Amino acid sequence: MSDCHPPAWITTILRKFCDPNFFEDVHGDLGELYNEDYVRKGKNAADFNYLLRVMDVALRFKKSNKSKRINNWAMFKSNLLFSFRYLVKQKFFTLVNVTSLVLGLTIVALVTLYVRHELSYDKHHHDSQNTYRLVSKRGENWFAFLSIPYSNHLVKNRYPEVVRMARFRRTPGRYVHFEDQVFPEDNILITDSKTEFFEVFKHDFLEGSAESALAGPNTVVITESTAQKYFGAETALGKLIQVDSILVKVDGVIKDVPSNSHIGFDLLVGHSGWVQPTSAATYLVLNEKAQIEDIKNRILTATIDELTPPYKISDLDFQNLPDIHLTSNLTFELLPPGNLNYVLMVAAIAGLVLIITIFNYVNLSIALNNNRRREIGTRRVLGANGQTITGQFMIEATILVLISFLAAILLTRILMPSFALSMGLNMDHDFLFSTTSLLWLAVIGLVTVMTAGFYPAMRMSKGNALNFLRKKKAISAVRFGIRKGLVLAQFVMLISLLAATLILDEQLGFMMTGNSGFKTEGILKVGEAWKLGPDRFQTLKTELLKHPGVITVADGYAPADAIYPLPYQLLGRETVYEDAIIFGVDHDYFQALSIKGRGEYFQEEEHPRVSLLVNQTMMDKLALQDHSQQTIVTSPGQPRERQREIRGVFDDFNYFSMHQEIPPMILIARETRGYVTSILIKIKMEEAQDIIASLEDTWINLDPMGPINHRFLDDDLQKLYEKESQLAAMGTNLSIVALALASIGLIGLTTFMLSVRIKEIGVRKVLGAKVSTLFWLLIHGFVSIIGIATLIASGLTWFLMESWLNNFAYRIEINPVLFLFAGLLTLIIAIVVISYRTIKAATANPVQALRYE
């Protein structure tokens, strides 16, 4: 019968609540009855009966409370009063402590919100867990879209596992007309009419309904703020607006798309004809039994109509909807993707800050409690037991944390918009005040109270009460060791943070201003220039060049414009490579970007109709010394195959970010092209404003197909390093906070140290010690702590940052002087902070110190 013990937790109830003298009497009997029940009625019934009996017995034979029959409420009240009095009396330290807690909690709150926001992407849809995005591989590249024949195939042949399907594509910026008003819009998605879009993605409808929306052809669903913009307070439903050239009827108004969705839009157009898309973002909701591998193979092997080579995909993948934001980084993502590593990194730093905060609290309160030993000793001698004392410290911690917590929430609320901006989030305001967020923060606050209050409370409630009353007994070295350890840990974190931020900044600076191979300053970029078309582009060019501040106007892809590699081959060789960036430019392109080159193209004034140029990387890749007499075949074996002789070699420049190696490039230069991609305008920066104004005017007058989209090229390039910039900003802010926290910690430690050594200082002074000697005596300990911390931090940071830097194809080398600098900076700040109290102690009249009481 050894295998049927009654559930331990019920026995625990009995032990906890039952009179201990009686426990053994019943325990055995109840166990025997349990066994009988177990054999006769089975485990569940036995458990149940056991529980009933335990309750029955425990209720009748309650633990008697005679020993603790103190008036708890009165005790609590007096504790509360004591705590308040104490906190008010120690204004300075209370302030320091609250500041430290507020800073720490605010950081943690902000980061918690950030992390939660990043992790919450697309979890709110109808069946997120079973919703997948289909992404495809063409050539060597993965795209966030599925090419249209496959997408059509899935619509026509609904697989049995597919519960719902939605697809859409992005359109570039368009003009939207309502009555006589025109609104430029760049956030438009187009989906099929009669779509299941709103059954896949959940949106709250303010007008219309998810069931009826986009049912007919030429309909549109707009967001609340768009409706507000177009129609003011009027009803939007049923109104007719014109998107580009299509007249559409407003079929519904939804709440603005939440910031934690990777599919953001202002207008969702339902259109029967798809206006010749090449690919579409395609989403499937699968049922529980679906085998992804199986579906994938069926799609890849299906016979699909109209499958010409540019549409043919080589591979297919299913991405789970909630994972897309943090794990997917393909060509043409809808939103700049998040980075899970950075999220984790930021979370880890916030964790460190919280730990520093708690260390600080513990440090400061131990330091202060040293002055309260007599109070506590008296209370204990007068009969306060451990629980009462612990209670008092816990109440103090709770009061402080509560005040700090409220202040932190307020501060968080104030700081959130700028924080969100610096992290590139558009976090909704109500995100902070959502129940889950507040709950999370409450848990963090509770943990802080528990850990921060626990250690001081434990120390003061244990031990011989008489020792508390004796003349100050030096605090044992072990405890001082713990505190020094805490301070060391703080400095290691601080110096690591500082050094890491410095390295981050240096790499960022290197990427943004480093040798990219072309000049980015003073270049105005007009994207989506196809809206203008080649003829009107020539008019624009002529108009702009009339302005004395305009140096060059060129056409071609601007660095960082999204583009994917194409196949090519050197004539006479077998190998077909698929990694070249190939695009057309006009003759002014090289001048606009200040790119130099060699070969006949760069020497002669007159050019043939078409010139093929390659970069140095391409020459190296093909192992060519001399480009003359060499011919390149682009898109070999495809309808667009062309053979052209190389007419020049231009110097390498970073088309993509410094994360990537410079790709092999082929540029096709023509006098005028049949197609315009981006316009690059090199200008004199002094006249930028004037030029931009005339550019905008000229653009409007040319009556293009959509609103102008212009910005400076260097702003555009900085976007490539957005995540790094955000991290650098975060690093800087956290370093400042960590510095502040560490300073607070130092104040605590100095105060403590001085309170222990005040007599010693007095005696030394009386015996003739100089102020400078005393000062050194008091601070040399910190100097060595910071020295050790610098060493540890250097190793740690070097290791971490080295692995971070390896993400970049072009990176800086870590300069060891950086660590020295971070250490020195910390040391100087530390000395300044310590000096305030130390100098006061060192210059004080020794009589003050030596006088008894």
Binding site for another protein (CB under 8 A): 1-2, 5, 22, 24-33, 53, 56-57, 59-61
- Rank residues 25 and 661 by Cβ distance to another protein and give the closer one: 25
Min separation Cβ 5 and another protein, Å = 7
- Rank residues 30 and 814 by Cβ distance to another protein and give the closer one: 30
The 10 Å CB-count burial string (b at 16+, else e) for 474-491 is ebeeeebeebbebbbbbb
Q: At what angle do helices 91-119 and 435-461 cross, to 10 degrees?
A: 140
Min separation Cβ 58 and another protein, Å = 8
- Rank residues 32 and 802 by Cβ distance to another protein and give the closer one: 32
- Rank residues 19 and 645 by Cβ distance to another protein and give the closer one: 19
- Rank residues 56 and 234 by Cβ distance to another protein and give the closer one: 56
CA dist 348 and 685 (Å) reads 43
- Rank residues 36 and 697 by Cβ distance to another protein and give the closer one: 36
Min separation Cβ 31 and another protein, Å = 6
Q: Within a 10 A sphere around the Cβ of 153, how many other Cβ atoms?
A: 18
- Rank residues 53 and 117 by Cβ distance to another protein and give the closer one: 53
Min separation Cβ 43 and another protein, Å = 17
The answer to whether 760 and 472 have CB atoms below 8 angstroms apart is no
Residue 755 to residues 320, 606, 694, 762, 838: CA-CA distances in angstroms? 60, 87, 72, 12, 11
The answer to whether 338 and 114 have CB atoms below 8 angstroms apart is no
Both tokens assigned to 644: 């052209």
Place of tokens 């700028």: 418
Min separation Cβ 10 and another protein, Å = 13
Category of 158 on φ-ψ map: left (φ > 0), alpha (ψ -120 to 50) or beta = beta
Both tokens assigned to 220: 């549109």
CA 548 to chain centre: 45
The answer to whether 680 and 595 have CB atoms below 8 angstroms apart is no
Please write down the HEC assignment for all residues of 49-105: HHHHHHHHHHHHCECCCHHHCCCHHHHHHHHHHHHHHHHHHCHHHHHHHHHHHHHHH
CA 133 to chain centre: 23
Min separation Cβ 162 and another protein, Å = 59
The answer to whether 717 and 680 have CB atoms below 8 angstroms apart is no
The answer to whether 668 and 525 have CB atoms below 8 angstroms apart is no
- Rank residues 25 and 604 by Cβ distance to another protein and give the closer one: 25
Min separation Cβ 67 and another protein, Å = 21
The 10 Å CB-count burial string (b at 16+, else e) for 125-140 is beebebbbbbbbebbe
Min separation Cβ 26 and another protein, Å = 6
CA dist 644 and 646 (Å) reads 6
Both tokens assigned to 78: 């007096």
DSSP 172: -
Min separation Cβ 59 and another protein, Å = 7
E-strand spans in 322-430? none
Min separation Cβ 57 and another protein, Å = 5
CA dist 134 and 147 (Å) reads 10
Point out which residues pair with 678 in neighbouring strands: 556
- Rank residues 37 and 555 by Cβ distance to another protein and give the closer one: 37
Min separation Cβ 18 and another protein, Å = 10
Q: What is the largest CA-CA distance in the chain?
A: 111
- Rank residues 53 and 271 by Cβ distance to another protein and give the closer one: 53
Min separation Cβ 68 and another protein, Å = 23
Q: Which residues contact residue 510 at a Cβ distance below 8 angstroms, ignoring those fewer than 6 apart?
A: 658, 810, 811, 812
- Rank residues 2 and 772 by Cβ distance to another protein and give the closer one: 2
Point out which residues pair with 523 in neighbouring strands: 682
Min separation Cβ 23 and another protein, Å = 11
CA dist 174 and 40 (Å) reads 79
Min separation Cβ 399 and another protein, Å = 43
Q: Within a 10 A sphere around the Cβ of 642, how many other Cβ atoms?
A: 14
Min separation Cβ 42 and another protein, Å = 19
Both tokens assigned to 325: 């934001």
- Rank residues 56 and 535 by Cβ distance to another protein and give the closer one: 56
- Rank residues 33 and 355 by Cβ distance to another protein and give the closer one: 33
- Rank residues 55 and 407 by Cβ distance to another protein and give the closer one: 55
CA dist 192 and 503 (Å) reads 49
DSSP 304: -
Residue 500 identity (one-letter amino acid):
A
CA dist 751 and 120 (Å) reads 45
Residue 36 identity (one-letter amino acid):
E
- Rank residues 3 and 574 by Cβ distance to another protein and give the closer one: 3
| Strand 523-526 versus strand 141-143 pairing type | unpaired
Residue 162 identity (one-letter amino acid):
V
Min separation Cβ 29 and another protein, Å = 4
- Rank residues 1 and 240 by Cβ distance to another protein and give the closer one: 1
CA dist 22 and 306 (Å) reads 87
- Rank residues 31 and 139 by Cβ distance to another protein and give the closer one: 31
Tell me phi and psi for residue 646, to 5 degrees: -75, 125
Min separation Cβ 49 and another protein, Å = 10
Q: Which residues contact residue 309 at a Cβ distance below 8 angstroms, ignoring those fewer than 6 apart?
A: 638, 639
- Rank residues 5 and 596 by Cβ distance to another protein and give the closer one: 5
Helix and strand counts by DSSP (H, E) for the chain: 26, 25
Give the containing element (helix H, strand E) for 545. helix 533-545
Both tokens assigned to 429: 């305001």
